[in-house]
Amino acid sequence: MSISSALAISRLPSLPPIRCSLAVPLRFKQRSSVVSLRCWCGPSPKMDSDSGASDKAFFLGLSTSSWCTGLGAVGFMETAYLTYIKLFNSDAFCAVAGGGCNDVLNSDYSNVFGVPLPLIGMVSYGLVTLLSLQQSRSNLLYGFGEIDVRFLLLAITTSMATASTYFLYLLGTKLSGTVCSYCLISVFLSFSLLFITLKDYAFEEIQKVVGVQFAIVAIILATLSNSYTMTMPKYFGSSDIILEPYETEIIEQSTPWTIALAKHLHSIGAKMYGAFWCSHCQEQKQMFGREAAKILDYVECFPDGVGKGRKMTTECTLAGLEGFPTWIIKGKVLSGEQNLQALADASGFASQDSSYALASKQDQS
């Protein structure tokens, strides 16, 4: 090749891809400079800007995988905190007054087949975080391709959103009047993760996986419903083991305030439904103390014991109880163990608090 030809080649602008039957590199030398041309067969390779949808900016300049990683990490930290609270029987910090967060954590719906619900959430958020990091090419999980990661993310986020919807229903019906900020945050995170995951799918792809999503929804709902249904026989005494009724001594001493609250609840016809074997019922009575507990309108649902042939009383059956203890105050159902301030607020006793405290001080003087 002549020197003029080599110079002409060296001054060429960026060359378009050269198509050939074999991938043979062409090298042209001009003194100390080297111009390399690469040949390949088939269509031109995609540039970095044309990589997967997960790398495209979704919101505020961040990709969908980055958003899923961040939201998943937030959910993981929240559920890890609640798991610690649940396992060590501590009180959760609740930004909303009334202690609704602790009421939900201590309710009959805080476990699924005996596994603490926050622990299940922590595992789910952890998986979302890991898969999102894998999607952003962190290569944390070996053997997982892009298609596998996208499908797993869709399956997990669909499950989380379905479970959040179910628990939101329980919060509004079985635990009506209870405000749980952690529950609402989890609902927001779950649906946000599902929406962001679906954003990575084209409409044609969604049509192909919508059947799988419906199957996942049905499985999650059936699993949760079956879990809570299995806990019901112990309420209705269908076991072959017969447990005779017994009384648990209340050792706490009542205060003037708890006695006044008990009298107020009695005056408005508020009732507490419970069972002698229910530990939460005993703890609820201990909150009032020995003297105040005697004033409460307490309904024992198994006065003849529990087990085979021992049935719950008609009054409790007609009340449609889902668990113990259950309070019915002014037609409002409060399920689970309640703190005293929540009972005072529900019964309208809070407005009398200051006046009664003043009266108590005058009596003591």
Convert the pLDDT of each residue in 19-74 to its tens digit. Answer: 444 444 444 444 444 444 444 444 444 434 334 444 555 667 788 888 999 999 99
pTM of the model: 0.53
| CA gap 326, 298 in Å, rounded | 10
User: Quick one: pLDDT at residue 319?
Assistant: 86
| CA gap 114, 25 in Å, rounded | 64
| CA gap 287, 265 in Å, rounded | 14
Tokens of 284: 């609820």
User: Quick one: pLDDT at residue 240?
Assistant: 56
| CA gap 75, 128 in Å, rounded | 10
User: Quick one: pLDDT at residue 357?
Assistant: 45
| CA gap 80, 120 in Å, rounded | 10
DSSP 87-126: HTTPPPP-SSTT-HHHHHHTSTTSEETTEEHHHHHHHHHH
| CA gap 172, 191 in Å, rounded | 18
Going by the DSSP 8-state scheme, the letter that residue 310 receives in this structure is B
- Per-residue pLDDT tens digits for 139-152: 666 667 777 888 89
User: Quick one: pLDDT at residue 226?
Assistant: 86
Which amino acid, residue 286?
Q
CB 68 within 8 A of CB 132: yes
Residue with tokens 């399956």: 155
CB 39 within 8 A of CB 58: no
214 membership: H or E segment, kind and range: helix 203-229
| CA gap 333, 284 in Å, rounded | 16
| CA gap 190, 54 in Å, rounded | 18
Of residues 239, 254, 134, 155, the one with CA closest to residue 201 = 155
| CA gap 75, 81 in Å, rounded | 10
Each residue's pLDDT expressed in tens, for the chain with a length of 365 residues: 444 444 344 444 444 444 444 444 444 444 444 444 444 444 444 434 334 444 555 667 788 888 999 999 999 999 999 999 988 878 888 776 555 788 888 887 888 988 999 999 999 999 999 999 888 776 666 667 777 888 899 999 999 999 999 999 988 887 777 788 899 999 999 999 999 999 888 888 888 888 999 999 999 999 998 888 765 444 444 445 678 888 889 999 999 999 999 999 999 999 999 999 888 899 999 999 999 999 999 999 999 888 776 788 889 888 888 789 999 999 999 988 899 999 999 999 974 554 444 344 344 34
User: Quick one: pLDDT at residue 52?
Assistant: 44
Q: In Å, how far are 47, 101, 128, 235 from 132, measured between CA atoms?
A: 22, 29, 6, 43
